[in-house]
Amino acid sequence: MNAPPLLTRGQEFALAVAAAVVTANAYYIHPIIGDVAQHFEVSDARIGLVPALNQLALAVGILLLLPLGDRFSNKRLTILFAAGQTVSLALMTFSAGFAGFVAGSTLLGFFTIAPYLLPAYASKRVAPERLGQVTALLTAGVIFGILVARVGAGVVAEVYGWRAVYWIATGLMLAVTIALPWLMQSGERSDVRTPYLALVFSVFPLIRQHREILLSGAIQGLNFAQFIALWLALALYLTSPQMGYGTDDVGYLAAIAAVSIFSTPRLGRWSDRVGPRTARLVFALVQLAGISLFWFLSSNIWWLLIPLVLVNTVGPGIDVTGRMTFLSLQPDLRTRLTTIYVVLMFIGGGLGSLAATWVYDTYGWGGTCVLLAGMSVLLTCLAAVSRRFGR
């Protein structure tokens, strides 16, 4: 495979911005999930189908589409999938019924491949000693997109209604789709000539050859399930009659994720020094401490800031260190290894969405806290086991 030119710092930041926009689409629903449920007159448990099917469709899309990144131009694939996201958002925007809205969200998930092509794309265009830093930069872009989506959606929905959120999202995706041809370098070449089905199925032998990818994927699946479960249940809890807050308050609270935009690049550099597996265990322990505090501090929105700061500081670091365990391997394997990792991640996200809304609808916020604590304990145990691979 011919080595492409290295990215400039400006190109790295431009890709991080693009990653922010294409990632944001799945997270607008978080603060407004209660409003959407009321509009379509569905229960808290049933509205969980929207984020759940989005995440599960994303897992399927990644399994079927992301391996193409090892054969075809990442630039062309990214543009194509971004266009698919734009069409899906338009369907959500114009849907008159719940079934159409769910269909658009599910289709959106299937085409949300660009954020997971970009790290593999960038990893082939940075010096090895900067891999952790650039991976963390792209992760920070993703975090920024999630932050803006959740804060902005809450504020916009409170003033203009939840459907205005998707009008804005569709416009942003249209702009990014038009800009991507100028943001990404051409000239990428691959020696892989494997037929499509063989390329897709070639993912499975890699699991046998690189078994740690299953462990890293499972850890991130639990990490992402916690994230989704926390924010969906928190939005329902805070906007319930018991608490009485608006969607804008949920959005403002989500702004606490801004801490991770500044902490994640630093955590990435620290992980470069101490090793990803050791760093991941430290992050998991800090996250467990934060999760444990939700039970005690949830009666007051200001006290909630304490565990939210802890969780949002280290949660993205778990993802960065998980990716570092395989993005240092052969360049022609990285996209397919990313496929395995991200499929497991979004299976976790889908199951976390279903579990969170069902548990909240059945057992309330207290039951959600127990669910989050159980997932965090399991994640920490797996992170401890994973240190063996680094010895």
Sorted by sequence, the CB contacts under 8 Å of residue 70 that are 6+ apart come out as 190, 192, 199, 332, 333, 334, 335, 336
User: At 188, is the secondary structure helix, strand, or coil?
Assistant: coil
What fold characterizes domain 9-181+194-390? Growth Hormone; Chain: A; (1.20.1250)
Distance CA 224, CA 221 (A): 5
Distance CA 320, CA 324 (A): 6
Angle at 101 between CA 98 and CA 104, to 5 degrees: 150
| Contact between 240 and 38 (Cβ < 8 Å) | no
Q: Tell me what pLDDT residue 54 has.
A: 93
Report pLDDT digits (tens) over 186-214.
Answer: 655 555 566 778 877 877 888 877 888 88
Q: Tell me what pLDDT residue 30 has.
A: 86
Token pair in block for residue 18 = 């693009």
Distance CA 363, CA 234 (A): 14
DSSP symbol at 127: -
Q: Tell me what pLDDT residue 188 has.
A: 56
| Contact between 36 and 88 (Cβ < 8 Å) | no
Report the chain's C-alpha Rg in angstroms: 20
Report pLDDT digits (tens) over 66-124.
Answer: 778 767 777 888 899 999 999 999 999 999 899 999 999 999 999 998 887 887 777 77
Q: Tell me what pLDDT residue 313 has.
A: 87
Q: Tell me what pLDDT residue 289 has.
A: 94
Q: Tell me what pLDDT residue 292 has.
A: 93
Cα 203 from chain centroid (whole Å): 21
Sorted by sequence, the CB contacts under 8 Å of residue 38 that are 6+ apart come out as none
Query: Largest Cα–Cα distance of the chain, in whole Å?
Result: 60
Encoded amino acid at 176, one letter: V
The neighbour count for residue 169, using CB atoms within 10 Å, is 25
Distances (CA, A) of 210 to 155, 192, 197, 259, 329: 45, 19, 21, 33, 10
Q: Tell me what pLDDT residue 118 has.
A: 80
Q: Tell me what pLDDT residue 134 has.
A: 81
Distance CA 3, CA 5 (A): 7
Distance CA 179, CA 163 (A): 25
Q: Tell me what pLDDT residue 80 has.
A: 92
Q: Tell me what pLDDT residue 347 has.
A: 93
Sorted by sequence, the CB contacts under 8 Å of residue 94 that are 6+ apart come out as none
Q: Where are the domains of the chain?
A: 9-181+194-390
Token pair in block for residue 132 = 């952790």
Q: Tell me what pLDDT residue 334 has.
A: 75
Distance CA 252, CA 270 (A): 30
Burial (CB count within 10 angstroms: exposed 0-12, middle 13-18, buried 19+), residue 48: buried
Q: Tell me what pLDDT residue 203 has.
A: 79
Of 348, 101, 341, the residue nearest 229 (C-alpha): 348
Q: Tell me what pLDDT residue 206 has.
A: 80
DSSP per residue over 99-113, as a string?
HHHHHHHHHHHHHTT
Average pLDDT per 10 consecutive residues for the chain, totaling 391 residues: 70 86 91 90 89 92 81 83 94 92 95 83 76 79 84 89 94 90 68 71 80 89 93 88 83 78 82 88 94 87 88 88 80 76 90 91 91 95 83 53
DSSP symbol at 6: P
